Structure 1
Amino acid sequence: MRHALILVLCLAMTPLAAQQTGTPEDIEEGVDLLSEGARRLLRGLMGEVEPQMQEMAEALKEWNFNGIGIDDLGQYHPPEKLPNGDIIIRRKTPLDVPMDDEIEI
């Protein structure tokens, strides 16, 4: 009787084992749907953020770097924070100091 019960259980489970979890085409279609959803989400976010980015770009164009002594941002390294909390911005090439004929002692 015990062997018959085990045989019935094994035969009942064989259709479950024979079922496939998904064909490669189904998996590929799922990946395509996920990528399309992500694309739509990012496009929607860009549509919401774009006006603020345009405003920020205009504000940065109007900002006067000459008033603070910076003529071209490309001539400077990124800001560094020192251990004491100071923030410095180093030049990539030091300024040329005009040399006079006289030497100060």
Structure 2
Amino acid sequence: MKQFIPICAISLALSAPANAEEDTGQSLMEQGAELFFKGLRQEMEPALGDLQGLVSQFGPAMQSFIEEMGPALAELAGEIQDWSAYEAPEILPNGDIIIRKKPPQGPQNVPEETEDVPEGSTDI
């Protein structure tokens, strides 16, 4: 959605003629763009109000969480090199949180099958 509005604004600016005649009214493109953005604002207004309510509700709790857990999370982030090597966190019934490593992909060091060769013999 963030990319949509600048694209519309740019296309509106580019659609205006370079050497416009003296026109006191708006062109049909300008009127259409104005109506489009007015409708978009009206459609987005309830969603933005809900978002504002969520921010006011969860803002203080998130601030407290960041203050308390920030240093521990920074330390953890310094120890883990590749986050893609881990599964999503799992919360156990007792409240413990487990972050498991993903099983390795591809062939690993699989021991080769060796034939029973008597000691002292040499392959040529």
TM bracket (short chain): 0.3 to 0.5
Report the structure number with the largest CA radius of gyration: 1
TM-score of the pair, normalised by structure 1: 0.38
| Structure with the bigger percentage of helix | 1
TM-score computed with the length of structure 2 as normaliser: 0.34
